[in-house]
């Protein structure tokens, strides 16, 4: 069985804490919040590393999981780098005993379709984090959502429909530049949220 550097429980804690992370403040303050969040979950962070072609790198080794950020970055660039590291931990599988995920300054070196789709999700979720608007990214990326199942009652049928909507949202988010741009708009995310509330009354949900 493949061992993940970040356990399912730790990833779940990251998702939970991320949703309640305070918003606002300058780039430096928001970076400190993201760094503190990672360190609370056992990820060692170091932003004094001399990286040239990389903005940041996640490393899984016998010493644990480390997040290294280039010392040359300015405050806003460092904020983006930490947001990408958090998004990478939520989206990607990092395997023990040794693995690395790199965040490039320019275009990534993703070659396969799967790698390109993963990169698109990471960048989109990171942008939502930087803006302080998680609701502009598909909710399954950072929260538990209803599943698409066989439905036998009006209530379960509605939740199953919502589960299908969530699956569709993630599918197109990783495949379509147009959908990612539309999804990032406040009015679009609010409209999707209203649809989700209609299907599953309760706390506001977005796909």
Print the domain residue range for 146.
133-199
Q: Answer yes or no: is 111 within a domain.
A: no
pLDDT digits (tens, 9 = 90+) for 136-193: 999 889 888 877 776 667 677 887 888 888 889 999 999 999 999 999 998 998 998 8
When pLDDT is averaged across residues 17-27 and rounded to a whole number, the result is: 90
3-state secondary structure 53-72: CEEEEEEEECCEEEEEEECC
Q: Answer yes or no: is 168 within a domain.
A: yes
Q: Return left, alpha or beta for 132; rule: phi > 0 is left, psi -120 to 50 is alpha, else beta.
A: left
Residues 6 or more apart from 169 whose CB is under 8 A from it? 138, 139, 140, 183, 192, 207
Q: Answer yes or no: is 64 within a domain.
A: yes
Q: Answer yes or no: is 109 within a domain.
A: no
How many Å is the maximal CA-CA distance in the chain? 58
Per the structure block, which two tokens stand in for 100? Answer: 């690395």
Q: Answer yes or no: is 164 within a domain.
A: yes
Model pTM? 0.86
Residue 100 sits in the same domain as residue 161: no
Q: Answer yes or no: is 204 within a domain.
A: no
Average pLDDT, the chain: 86
Residue 82 sits in the same domain as residue 39: yes
pLDDT recorded at residue 205:
45
pLDDT digits (tens, 9 = 90+) for 99-126: 889 898 766 677 788 889 999 999 999 9
| Residue 28 three-state SS | helix
Q: Answer yes or no: is 155 within a domain.
A: yes
The Cα 106–Cα 41 span in angstroms is 29
């Amino acid at each position: 069985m493949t061992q993940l550097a970040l356990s399912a429980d730790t990833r779940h804690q990251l998702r939970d804490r991320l949703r309640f992370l305070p918003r606002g403040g300058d780039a430096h303050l928001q970076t400190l919040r993201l760094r503190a969040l990672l360190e609370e979950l056992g990820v060692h962070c170091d932003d004094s590393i001399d990286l040239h072609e990389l903005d940041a790198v996640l490393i899984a080794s016998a010493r644990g999981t480390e997040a290294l950020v280039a010392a040359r970055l300015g405050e806003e660039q460092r904020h983006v780098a930490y947001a990408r590291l958090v998004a990478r931990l939520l989206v990607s599988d990092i395997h023990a005993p040794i693995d690395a995920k790199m965040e490039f300054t320019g275009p990534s070196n993703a070659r396969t379709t799967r790698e390109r789709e993963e990169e698109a999700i990471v960048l989109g979720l990171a942008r939502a984090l930087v803006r302080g608007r998680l609701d502009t990214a598909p909710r399954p990326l950072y929260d538990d959502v209803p599943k698409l199942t066989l439905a036998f009652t009006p209530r379960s049928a509605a939740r199953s429909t919502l589960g299908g909507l969530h699956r569709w949202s993630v599918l197109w988010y990783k495949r379509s530049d147009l959908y990612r741009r539309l999804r990032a708009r406040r009015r679009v995310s609010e409209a999707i949220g209203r649809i989700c509330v209609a299907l599953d009354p309760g706390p506001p949900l977005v796909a």
